[in-house]
C-alpha cells in the first residue's frame, strides 16, 4: 500500500484554504435518543491552503464508529472526533432523520406512531463546540380570517413548524414538539376514530391561527428558555385555498443571551 | 469518424431482446398547447436480441428537432420519428411538465396564473400509435364526515386529482381541469382577496367530498366521453388531521369502448 | 360514540365501485428481515359501488399492529388482515424503505454500511395473495464505447439497478444484490482506502457495461430462478458526460412460468 | 367588501416583530434573461410587532404584474415594489428556475439545449437593495487519486458546481457557466456523437480534478471579479465508487471588497 501515490497530501499552490470539504448524502441506520431511524449525514472539515485534498474515507470511519445511540453528547463527540481525525481546525456534522413518537388519539385513546423530522448540526471550531437542534413538527392550522369573514366553516390545512435553537444544554425533542403542537389549531395523529375527528375539528375551529400567530406564540415560549443563545421558529402552511404555501419566520437571541450583555 | 469502433452495433449473444432502452430525466424547454414551460422527457425504444446497444444520441436529436409547439399530434409524431430513426418496432415518449392557466378570482376578478401538471405518454407499436394524457389538478376538499359529526367547522385540505385517459381524439386539458375542479369542494387560486376567501370557504363547506366522492364524480363524467378507450381517476388529500394522505382510484374502459365490442 | 353519523357507511347511488381506496405516504418505523429502518406505506382496498366511503382509521390500526419484524410472510399477512378488517375483496400494501448491508472494502477490509432500497408489494384478491419484491442497487458502470474509442480513460458513473420479481417463494434480498453487483462494472462501497480505490478503478475498467448489458446479464440469471412467475430488470445510469440518464429495461415471465404452460 | 373583518390588520399584543412572512413554493412562468422557463418563487417581508398579519394576496399581485422578462434590474424592482406595496422595512424575493443554453458538441458540432439552474435572491432593506445570483452547473469530474494509483482508467462522475456572488453589477450567467465548465474535467452536453465522446473521455482523463481543485480554481477566478462583495463556490460529486457524494465549499469577500476598506 505504501507505494500508492498520496495525491490528496500533495501541496497546493493556489493559496486558498477551503472552508468545508467532506461528504454529503450518506444514509446510515442510527438510533436517536432511543428511537431507531435512518439518518442522512453531511460531514465536513476545513482544509489549509497548503494541502490539496482531504481524506474522504476517514469521514465514513468516524461515522461507522460513532453512529450508535446518538444523543446530543455523542453527536458532538462525533464532530470532535472528526476534527481530530482529519487534523483540521473546524468540523461540522449534520444529520437529518425522521423521528417517531407514539401518540394516543385524544378521545378514543388509540395508539400509533407519528413522524417528525430532526435536523441536528454540530460545529466544532478549535476547542469550542456548538449544537444546533431543529425539530420539524406537522400541525393543523385554521385560518382566523376565513373564520371571521365566513358565515360557515373556515379553511384549514396541514402545516409544518420548524423550531431551531442553540443552548448550553439541549431541550428535549418531546418538549419542543409539545410547544409547537400547543400553539397550533390542532396537532396531528396517525390514528383517529370518529369521536377523535369531531374533537379535533372543533378544537381547530376554536383555535384559529395564522402562520404569524404560530411563530409568535412559539417564539414567545422558546426565547424564554434559560441559557438560550439563539433560536429560529418557522411555520409553513400547505394552504387549502392556494397551490402555494404561506410562510413566517422569527429568529433572534434568547432573552438570557441579551441579559449576558449588560452594556448591549 | 468512420474508424471509431461502433460498440453499440456489435452482435449480442445472450438472446435477450430489450423491452425499453433510451434516455430519462432530460429537461427541455417546450411549448405545450401554446403554453411555454419546461418538460422532463423519457424516450425509449425496443432493441432486438441481436444488437448490443442503442444509439443514445439519436433520442436527443429527435427531441431537439421536434420539441417546438407540442400538441397531441406533434407529440405522437415525435414518437413515430423516434421509432423510425432507431429502426425499432416500438417507441415510447413520456413528458412531465407544469402547465399554467390564468384564473380570475371568483368575486374580485383578480387575475393570476395557477399551475397544473401534465403527463403525456406516446406509445408506438409498428403502425399503431396511442396517446395517454394525464392532468394533475390541485383542489380543495372538505371532509363530509367531519362536517356531519362536528358542531362547528370541518377539516379541509389541499388535494391533487389526476385524470388520465386514452381516446381516439384527446380531450382539451382545460376541459379535464374544469371537470375535476367542479367535482371538488372548491378549486384553488393563486390570487384571492377577502371577498373571494369568504366565497371559497362557504362553497367548500357547502360541498363536502371524500376522495371516494371525488373519483366517482369525475369518473362518471370521464367514462361517458365519446370514443374513450381507457381512463383512470385518482385523488390524494394532504389530510389536515393526519401527516399522511387519503387516496382513491377508479380505472376502466370507457362506455363507448364497451359498446364497440358487441360480442364481448 | 354510537350517536355520531357514519357518513362513510352511507349508500352511494352513482353505481361505481372504487378500485383502490386507502392511505398513502405514511412513514412508520419497521424492521425488515432483521434490519431496522423507516418504511413509507401505501395501503388500499377496493370498495363496492353501494358504499360511500372506507374507514381510514382501520388501515393504520392494521399497520400499527403488524409492523414489527416484517418479512415476506408477515407482510402478506398484513395485506390479508387489511382485506378482512375492511370487508373488501382485494387489498394492497406497498412499502418503500432504505435497507442496509455491512460491506467490507475489497482490499483493506474496512467495514461500513451501504444503503439499498426495497420496494415491497402485497396484493390480495379473495383467497390468492401475491408478493412482488423489488430491490434497488446502486452500482458503478463504465462505458464500453467510451473505452473502445478513446486512447486513454473511459467515462463511468453511478447507476441504479432495480430487480423486481414475483415467485412462489421470495428470493433473499442479499442474493438479488449479489446478482446485480456481479453484473456491474463494479459495486459501490461507503468506505474505501486507496488500495481499494485502485482495485475498483481497474476492475471497472476491465468490466465495461452498457445499461443494455447490465439488464441482459441480470435478466439471464433472474429468469432462470425456479418457480419464477414474473420479473423486471431496470438500469439507469447518472451519465457523467450528460445531465440526463441512460435507461434500459427487460421484463417477462420466468422460464419455469413458460414451462408450466405446455399448450401455450 | 368593506364590511368584511380585516383580521390581519388587528393589533398584536405579544410584542414580537416577524422577520419574514409571505409565500413560498409558488410556480410561475417567467422569462429570465430572454430564456422562457418556470420559476418557483418565495416572497417575504418583515412585519412590525404591532400588526397581527400580512396581506398574502399582495405578494401574488406583485409577482403577477412583474414576472415578465426578468433580469437583475426587474428582479430588484419586484422586491422594491413588494416592500412598498406591503408597507414594510425589508423585503425578500427568491427565484429558483431551470435555465437553458444551446451547446454545440465539441467535435461533431451537433446542437442541443443543456439545462442549468438559477437561484436568484433580491433583498431590500430600506433604501438599500442587494442581488445575490447563483448558478448551478452540471460538470464531469475525474479523480486525480484514482488516475495516479491505477494502472488503467480512473473513476469519474457527474458533479454539480454552484457559483454564488454579490456584486455591484451582476455577472452574465453565461460567463459563470464558462468559468465553472473550464475548471472541470469536462463539461456536459445533451447531444454527443462518438467522435465527441472520444474527445470528452480523453479531455477528462487529461484534466483530473478533486472537488477541492474545482472550488479553488473557480474561486481564484471569481474573487478577482471587479466590484465583488461576496462569493461562494461549491462542488458536489455524485461519486461513481460510493453511494454518497463528495463536497467542497469556499466562500469569502471579493478582492476588491477588501481594497475598498483601506482602514480595515
Contacts of C144 in chain B (CB under 8 A): 7, 53
Q: Give, for all 264 residues of chain D, the pLDDT tens digit.
A: 347 888 888 888 889 999 999 999 999 999 999 999 999 999 999 999 999 999 999 999 999 998 778 999 999 999 999 999 999 999 999 999 999 999 999 999 999 999 999 999 999 999 999 999 999 999 999 999 999 999 999 999 999 999 999 998 889 999 999 999 999 999 999 999 999 999 999 999 999 999 999 999 999 999 999 999 999 999 999 999 999 999 999 999 977 665 443 332
Closest CA of chain C from A55, distance in Å: 9
Q: How far is it, in rounded angstroms, from Cα B52 to Cα D146?
A: 29
Reading phi first (left if > 0) and then psi (alpha if -120 to 50, else beta), residue D216 is in alpha
For the record, the C-alpha cell of C251 comes out as 421484463
Partner residues linked to B230 by β-bridges: B166
Closest CA of chain B from D155, distance in Å: 21
Closest CA in chain B for residue C22: B247
In this prediction, residue D197 carries a pLDDT of: 98
Highest mean pLDDT among A64-78, B245-259, C202-216: C202-216
Mean pLDDT of A27-40: 97
ipTM, 2 dp: 0.94
Question: CB D189 to CB C156 under 8 A?
Answer: no
In this prediction, residue D1 carries a pLDDT of: 38
Contact A196, A105 (CB under 8 A): yes
Question: CB A198 to CB B150 under 8 A?
Answer: yes
Question: CB C100 to CB A35 under 8 A?
Answer: no
Specify the higher pLDDT residue, B257 or B49.
Answer: B49
Q: How far is it, in rounded angstroms, from Cα A149 to Cα A241?
A: 15
N residues, chain A: 264
pLDDT tens digits, A172-198: 999 999 999 999 999 999 999 999 999
Range of weakest confidence among A221-225, B260-264, C67-71, C72-76: B260-264
Nearest beta carbon to residue B191 from set D1, D60, D192: D60
Specify the higher pLDDT residue, C1 or B149.
Answer: B149
Contact D165, D222 (CB under 8 A): yes
Query: Which chains share 3+ C-beta pairs under 8 angstroms with A?
Result: B, C, D
Q: Give CA A217 to chain center in angstroms.
A: 19
For the record, the C-alpha cell of A14 comes out as 493556489
Q: How far is it, in rounded angstroms, from Cα C62 to Cα B198?
A: 40
pLDDT tens digits, C141-152: 999 999 999 999
For chain B, the residues whose C-beta falls within 8 A of a C-beta of chain D are 1, 4, 6, 26-29, 35-38, 57, 60-61, 63-64, 98, 100, 108, 110-113, 115, 190-195, 198
Helix ranges restricted to H, chain B: 56-66, 72-85, 144-149, 173-183, 194-206, 211-222, 255-259
Q: How far is it, in rounded angstroms, from Cα A204 to Cα A141?
A: 7
Interface test with A, best of C112, C114, C196, C199 (most A CBs within 10 A): C112
Nearest beta carbon to residue B38 from set D28, D37, D63: D37
In this prediction, residue C260 carries a pLDDT of: 43
In this prediction, residue A168 carries a pLDDT of: 85
Closest CA of chain B from A201, distance in Å: 6
Q: How far is it, in rounded angstroms, from Cα A30 to Cα A36?
A: 6
The bridge status of strand A156-167 relative to strand A128-142 is antiparallel
Question: What's the farthest any 2 CA atoms get from each other in chain C?
Answer: 81
Partner residues linked to A97 by β-bridges: A118
**CA quadruple A213, A215, A218, A220: dihedral sign:** negative
In this prediction, residue C200 carries a pLDDT of: 98
Q: Encode D22-46: b = buried (16+ Cβ within 10 Å), e = exposed.
A: bbbbbbbbbebeebebbbbbbbbbb
Closest CA of chain D from B194, distance in Å: 7
Q: How far is it, in rounded angstroms, from Cα A86 to Cα B217?
A: 63
Contacts of A153 in chain B (CB under 8 A): 142, 147, 153-154, 156, 201-202, 204-205
pLDDT tens digits, B151-189: 999 999 999 999 999 998 889 999 999 999 999 999 999
Closest CA in chain C for residue D197: C146
Question: CB C245 to CB B24 under 8 A?
Answer: yes
Partner residues linked to B35 by β-bridges: B32
DSSP track, D21-58? EEEEEEEEEEEETTEEEEEEEEEEEEE-TTBS---HHH
The bridge status of strand B186-187 relative to strand B156-167 is unpaired
Rg (CA), chain B: 22
Q: How far is it, in rounded angstroms, from Cα A39 to Cα A93?
A: 12
For chain A, the residues whose C-beta falls within 8 A of a C-beta of chain C are 1, 4, 6, 26-29, 35-38, 57, 60-61, 63-64, 98, 100, 108, 110-113, 115, 190-195, 198
Nearest beta carbon to residue D191 from set B57, B190, B194: B57
DSSP track, C2-23? TTS--GGGSB--S---EEEEEE
Closest CA of chain A from C233, distance in Å: 24
In this prediction, residue D257 carries a pLDDT of: 61
For chain C, the residues whose C-beta falls within 8 A of a C-beta of chain A are 1, 4, 6, 26-29, 35-38, 57, 60-61, 63-64, 98, 100, 108, 110-113, 115, 190-195, 198
Contact B239, B157 (CB under 8 A): yes
Q: How far is it, in rounded angstroms, from Cα D25 to Cα D263?
A: 44
Helix/strand/coil for D214: helix
Question: CB A28 to CB C115 under 8 A?
Answer: yes
Query: Which chains share 3+ C-beta pairs under 8 angstroms with D?
Result: A, B, C
Closest CA of chain C from B102, distance in Å: 31
- pTM as predicted: 0.95
In this prediction, residue A53 carries a pLDDT of: 95
Closest CA of chain B from D78, distance in Å: 16
Partner residues linked to D21 by β-bridges: A248, D45
Question: CB A21 to CB D211 under 8 A?
Answer: yes
**CA quadruple D173, D176, D182, D188: dihedral sign:** negative
Mean pLDDT of C221-225: 93
Q: Give CA A214 to chain center in angstroms.
A: 17
Query: What's phi and psi for C50, nearest 5 deg?
Result: -85, -10
Contacts of D198 in chain B (CB under 8 A): 4
Question: CB D194 to CB B1 under 8 A?
Answer: yes
Query: What's phi and psi for C188, nearest 5 deg?
Result: -105, 160
Contacts of B63 in chain D (CB under 8 A): 112
**CA quadruple D190, D191, D193, D196: dihedral sign:** negative
Contact D182, D196 (CB under 8 A): no
Q: Encode D63-85: b = buried (16+ Cβ within 10 Å), e = exposed.
A: bbebbeebebeebbbbbbbbbeb
Range of weakest confidence among A63-77, B213-227, C125-139, D13-27: A63-77
The bridge status of strand A35-47 relative to strand A18-32 is antiparallel
DSSP assigned state of C172: P
Question: CB B1 to CB D38 under 8 A?
Answer: no
Closest CA of chain C from B181, distance in Å: 19
Helix ranges restricted to H, chain C: 56-66, 72-85, 144-149, 173-183, 194-206, 211-222, 255-259
Q: What is the dihedral of CA D217, D222, D225, D229, to 10 degrees?
A: -140
How many CB pairs below 8 A link C and D?
Answer: 138
The bridge status of strand B228-237 relative to strand B245-252 is antiparallel
A72-85 vs A56-66: helix axis angle to the nearest 10?
Answer: 150
Per the prediction, chain D carries an average pLDDT of: 94
Per the prediction, chain C carries an average pLDDT of: 94
Question: CB A212 to CB D244 under 8 A?
Answer: no
Q: Encode C232-256: b = buried (16+ Cβ within 10 Å), e = exposed.
A: bbbbbbbbbbbbbbbbbbbbbbbeb
In this prediction, residue A170 carries a pLDDT of: 81
Nearest beta carbon to residue C16 from set B25, B27, B219: B219
For the record, the C-alpha cell of B122 comes out as 406516446
Contacts of C70 in chain A (CB under 8 A): none
Contacts of D52 in chain A (CB under 8 A): 210, 212-213
Nearest in space to B212 (alpha carbons), one of C160, D27, C28, C21: C21
Partner residues linked to C72 by β-bridges: none
Nearest in space to B77 (alpha carbons), one of B58, B55, B62: B62
DSSP track, B58-102? HHHHHHHHH-TTB-HHHHHHHHHHHHHHTT-SEEEEEEEEEEEEE
pLDDT tens digits, B37-96: 999 999 999 999 999 999 999 999 999 998 778 999 999 999 999 999 999 999 999 999
Question: CB A23 to CB D149 under 8 A?
Answer: no
Question: CB D57 to CB B113 under 8 A?
Answer: no
The bridge status of strand C111-125 relative to strand C156-167 is unpaired
Question: CB A111 to CB C27 under 8 A?
Answer: no
Q: Using pLDDT thresholds of 50, 70 and 90, give the confidence band for residue A256.
A: low
Residues 6+ apart with CB under 8 A from D186: C241, D139, D140, D142, D200, D203, D204, D207
Question: CB B205 to CB A142 under 8 A?
Answer: no
In this prediction, residue A227 carries a pLDDT of: 92
For chain C, the residues whose C-beta falls within 8 A of a C-beta of chain D are 114-115, 138, 140-143, 145-147, 149-158, 186, 188-190, 192, 194, 197-198, 200-202, 204-206, 238-244
Q: Using pLDDT thresholds of 50, 70 and 90, give the confidence band for residue C179.
A: very high
Q: How far is it, in rounded angstroms, from Cα C21 to Cα A55?
A: 51
Mean pLDDT of C249-258: 81
Amino acid at each position: 500500500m505504501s507505494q500508492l501515490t498520496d495525491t490528496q497530501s500533495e501541496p497546493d499552490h493556489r493559496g486558498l484554504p477551503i472552508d468545508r470539504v467532506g461528504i454529503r448524502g450518506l444514509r446510515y441506520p442510527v438510533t436517536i435518543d432511543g428511537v431507531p431511524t435512518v439518518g442522512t449525514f453531511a460531514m465536513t472539515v476545513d482544509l489549509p491552503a497548503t494541502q490539496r485534498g482531504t481524506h474522504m474515507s476517514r469521514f465514513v470511519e468516524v461515522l461507522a464508529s460513532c453512529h450508535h445511540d446518538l444523543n446530543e453528547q455523542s453527536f458532538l463527540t462525533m464532530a470532535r472526533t472528526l476534527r481530530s481525525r482529519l487534523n483540521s481546525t473546524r468540523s461540522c456534522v449534520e444529520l437529518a432523520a425522521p423521528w417517531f413518537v407514539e401518540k394516543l388519539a385524544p378521545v378514543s385513546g388509540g395508539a400509533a406512531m407519528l413522524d417528525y423530522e430532526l435536523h441536528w448540526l454540530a460545529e466544532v471550531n478549535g476547542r469550542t463546540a456548538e449544537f444546533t437542534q431543529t425539530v420539524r413538527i406537522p400541525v393543523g392550522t385554521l385560518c382566523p380570517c376565513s373564520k371571521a369573514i365566513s358565515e360557515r366553516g373556515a379553511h384549514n390545512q396541514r402545516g409544518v413548524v420548524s423550531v431551531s435553537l442553540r443552548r448550553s444544554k439541549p431541550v428535549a425533542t418531546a418538549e419542543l414538539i409539545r410547544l409547537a403542537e400547543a400553539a397550533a389549531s390542532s396537532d396531528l395523529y396517525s390514528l383517529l376514530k370518529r369521536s377523535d375527528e369531531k374533537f379535533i375539528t372543533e378544537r381547530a375551529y376554536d383555535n384559529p391561527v395564522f402562520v404569524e400567530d404560530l411563530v409568535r406564540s412559539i417564539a414567545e415560549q422558546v426565547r424564554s428558555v434559560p441559557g438560550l443563545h439563539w433560536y429560529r421558529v418557522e411555520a409553513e402552511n400547505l394552504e387549502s385555498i392556494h397551490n402555494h404555501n404561506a410562510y413566517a419566520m422569527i429568529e433572534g437571541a434568547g432573552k438570557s443571551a441579551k441579559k449576558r450583555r449588560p452594556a448591549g
